Amino acid sequence: MKLWLTISIAVHFLLAALASIRIMSETRSPAKTFAYLLLVFFLPVAGLFIYLMVGINYRKRKLYNKKLTLNLNFYSDLRKRIFPPAGKMLKEYGGLLGDKEYVARLLLKDNLSPLSVNTNVKLLINGENKYRDLIEAMESAKDHIHLEYYIFASDETGERIAEVLMRKAREGVKVRLIYDDFGSKHMSNAFEKRLKAAGIEVYAFYKIYLILLAQRLNYRDHRKIVVIDGHTGFLGGINIANHYTNEPEYSAKNKVYWRDTHVRLEGSAVYSLQYIFLATWNFCSGQQLKADERYFPVIPAGPPPEQMVQIVSSGPDSPNSLVFLSFLAAIMTARKRIRITTPYFIPNLTLMDALKAAALAGVEIELLVPEKSDAWIIDLAAVPYYDELILAGVKVYRYKKGFVHAKSMTIDGMMSIVGTSNMDLRSFDFNFEVNAVIYGTETAEALDRTFDEDLKVSELINKEKWKKRGPFRRIQEYSMRLLSSLL
């Protein structure tokens, strides 16, 4: 017995040592490296199993390098014919951006985030408003409807959207749908077959054939994009499923009120959403749709802009995480106030330092998070970050009416970010995300009014009361924080 125990321990440490070499050589993030090392050494079997399933990027580099090449080749053609030169746009309109021009320059440098000066922005609060606008826009489609969703469920809400899509497809409108295979696990095979039978082209993003190949779960298409006829677009936090709406007839089984945010765009910013969709479509389908006027129709120039929009996207195929860098740059430009709403707050060290530095410099920072999210592990892991922020002077509110799933930020009442990205490591490092960066007071003020309404049903964390959390609770929280880079 002792011999078998000795052999088992020796084998474990040998495997752990070999795994450690690979972890340290292939994992870019020091925090993630440390978390994986803790797993393989202190959870003898489970740790190695978890790392082998989710830690090793078996095909990521090869797969997404190919996707990035396809994206850039596609964009090169698009930029020549559709998007105006970045320098010209900044020279003509940069003065309207004030000190937020810093963010615009960062995104323009990437060449994939052109500045749109003729786009109307409509803020859509909660699924009931998003679905109404979405159905109305789809009903008006004449040529094509493109949808890309993390979650598309075959429940009553999914059926409601599908009925419109199938009818439009039968009328001759080209309908294309990309869904994330993991996120849309509640889409039935029968539902997908009905969509295809009606003439809708449907593809799963990075299909999962065996759930045990869990490294595929790391790189998910978390985007929620709709493009209609190349001039109307939607993006934000709201997927297609019953629990994203508070309408009684569709949310009868919901246990919580769902608070979320989406935007409707009309104008040239939709070109960027179209590019993102078509690049992903070509990757998923193997087709080679071109950047022609069918998908990028001429949009007449409007009056001098009151608001300007940039679409920023990133993912495992991006050399830089522009979603993260845009958050960071926006925080760095703040002079008066930052207001953040996010359902999951697991920031990296750089973002934490930027928020603390801004707070210590006198910027008023308010962070709104759920009192209870749909992931208790993340709730625990987030708490130590609140401790640090509160100590620096940040006001942290917990939403009590239900679950706040909105992902938004306003800076100084004149700049907004709304989209699909949570303020967490998974959104920054693993997921394909897309946000709208909106320069101007109209959307920022509307988001601030919504934030004020949300605060009425939220509780400010009291610093003194917060300190009295029991030792067992603190152990749980800080234990989960050690693993936060893996969540």
Catalytic residue among 67, 130, 243, 407: 407
Do the domain assignments include residue 339? yes
| Nearest to 47, CA basis, from 22, 15, 21, 72 | 15
Final residue in a domain of this structure, among 302, 330, 349: 302
Question: Is residue 334 located within the same domain as residue 478?
Answer: yes
* HSE-up (13 A, CA, CB side) for residue 319: 8
Q: Are 68 and 194 found together in one domain?
A: yes
Q: Which of 302, 335, 365 is the last residue of a domain?
A: 302
- Within a domain: residue 96? no
SS3 at position 243: helix
224 as an active site residue: the answer is yes
Count of beta carbons in the 10 Å neighbourhood of residue 238: 28
Residue 313 lies in a domain: no
Q: Please tell me whether residues 327 and 247 are part of one structural domain.
A: no
- 360 and 417 share one domain: yes
Show which of 302, 332, 353 is a domain's final residue.
302
Same domain for 29 and 160, yes or no, is: no
pLDDT tens sequence for the chain (487 residues):
566 666 666 665 666 666 555 555 555 555 566 566 666 555 555 555 555 555 555 445 555 555 555 566 666 666 666 666 666 777 788 778 888 999 998 888 765 688 888 899 999 999 999 999 999 999 999 999 999 999 999 999 999 999 999 999 999 999 999 999 999 999 999 999 999 999 999 999 877 765 544 444 568 899 999 999 999 999 999 999 999 999 888 766 677 899 999 999 999 999 999 999 998 998 899 888 888 889 999 888 777 678 999 999 988 877 678 999 999 999 999 999 999 999 999 999 899 999 999 999 999 999 999 998 777 777 777 788 898 899 999 999 999 999 999 999 999 999 999 999 999 988 998 899 999 999 999 999 999 999 999 999 999 998 777 766 766 566 655 565 555 555 5
Tell me the pTM.
0.86
Q: Are 400 and 458 in contact (CB under 8 A)?
A: yes
Same domain, residue pair 332 and 448 = yes
Spot the catalytic one: 32, 100, 130, 222.
222
The range of the structural domain enclosing residue 31 comes to 2-55
Angle between helix axes 349-360 and 322-333 (nearest 10 degrees) is 10
Q: Is residue 247 part of a domain?
A: yes
**Which of the residues 180, 181, 317, 412 is marked catalytic?**
412
Decide: 137 and 232 in contact? Cβ < 8 Å. Answer: yes
Based on the fold, state whether residues 160 and 241 are members of the same structural domain: yes
Among 110, 155, 229, 454, the one annotated catalytic: 229
CATH of the domain at 76: 3.30.870.10
Q: Are residues 355 and 223 in the same domain?
A: no
405 noted as active-site residue: yes
Residue 2: active-site member: no
**Residue 231 annotated as catalytic:** no
- The single residue listed with the structure tokens 């054939």 is 209
Closest Cα partner for 238 from 250, 229, 230, 252?
250
In three state form, how does the secondary structure of 342-397 look?
Answer: CCCEECCHHHHHHHHHHHHCCCEEEEEEECCCCCHHHHHHHHHHHHHHHHHCCEEE
**Which amino acid, one-letter code, is at 119?**
T
Dihedral angle over CA of 434, 439, 443, 445, nearest 10 = 130
What is the DSSP secondary structure assignment for residue 223, as one 8-state letter?
-
Alpha helices in 82-215 (DSSP H): 86-93, 101-109, 127-139, 156-170, 189-197
229 catalytically annotated: yes
Q: How many CB atoms lie within 10 A of CB 312?
A: 25
Catalytic residue, candidates 405, 424, 429, 454: 405
Examine residue 106 and state whether it is found in any structural domain, yes or no: no
Q: Are residues 255 and 379 in the same domain?
A: no
The one catalytic residue in 146, 224, 243, 262 is 224
3-state secondary structure of 427: helix
Residues 443, 389 within the same domain:
yes
Q: Count the domains in the chain.
A: 3
Residue 91 belongs to some domain of the structure: no
Asked whether residue 94 is assigned to any structural domain, the reply reads no
Question: 201-205 and 174-180 as β-strands: parallel, antiparallel, unpaired?
Answer: parallel
Whether residue 186 lies in the annotated active site: no
113 falls within a domain: no
User: CA of 466: how far to CAs of 216, 387, 463, in Å?
Assistant: 39, 8, 5
User: Are 263 and 134 contained in the same domain?
Assistant: yes
Residues 295 and 334 placed together within one structural domain of the fold: no
